[in-house]
Amino acid sequence: MSDLLQLVEPMIPALRRYARGLLRDAVAADDLVQDCLERVVAHWGRRRNDDPRTWVFAILHNLAVNRLRQTARRGEHLPFEKVDEVVLSGRPTQEDGLLRRDILDALDRLPEEQRSVLLLVSVEDLSYAQAAEVLAIPIGTVMSRLSRARERLRVILEGPEQASGRPGSHLRRVK
């Protein structure tokens, strides 16, 4: 244990410098050095007969890389007191995701010619004339396809009962 102390203790300032250079945060760097020293003490008997300096720096480097990856994956950790209230008071977005998925599914159910006109005019904000030019069809065809696409999309999203205005209403033939 005394050889551990004699070999590792002089390395601590260099370990702190390296950790601060990697993490750019003094507190996180000190935590990283502490984690490194804990591993060094716990695994001192497993080290190879290599230079202990390279072994200790390798441990520190690997811990730093793991911590940087974790931060990139999870985002930066903030204490609850420092989180902006706007973030905490925002409305939930789960419903938006469900609606987005429903719209994309409904678009997939449209015929290709209706889908392409709807996307060009409604999403890409092309004029009827521009959409007609892109698709090489007359403007009247663009307008009729767009009308049918919007109506069909509304029926798919709302269901046939809600789309007609009254539940169970059907067209009747009058003589």
Which residue, of 77, 112, 137, is where some domain finishes?
77
* In a domain? residue 166: no
Total number of domains constituting the chain? 2
User: Are the beta carbons of 163 and 150 closer than 8 angstroms?
Assistant: no
pLDDT in tens, 143-170: 999 999 999 999 999 886 665 555 445 5
Does the pTM surpass 0.85? The reply is no
Q: What is the pLDDT of residues 37-74, one digit of tens each?
A: 999 999 988 887 778 888 999 999 999 999 999 888 88
Q: Specify whether 59 is located in the same domain as 30.
A: yes
| Residue that is last in its domain, among 26, 43, 77 | 77
Task: Check: CB of residue 141 under 8 Å from CB of residue 132.
Answer: yes
CATH classification at residue 34: 1.10.1740
Structural domain containing residue 141 = 94-161
Q: Is residue 82 part of a domain?
A: no
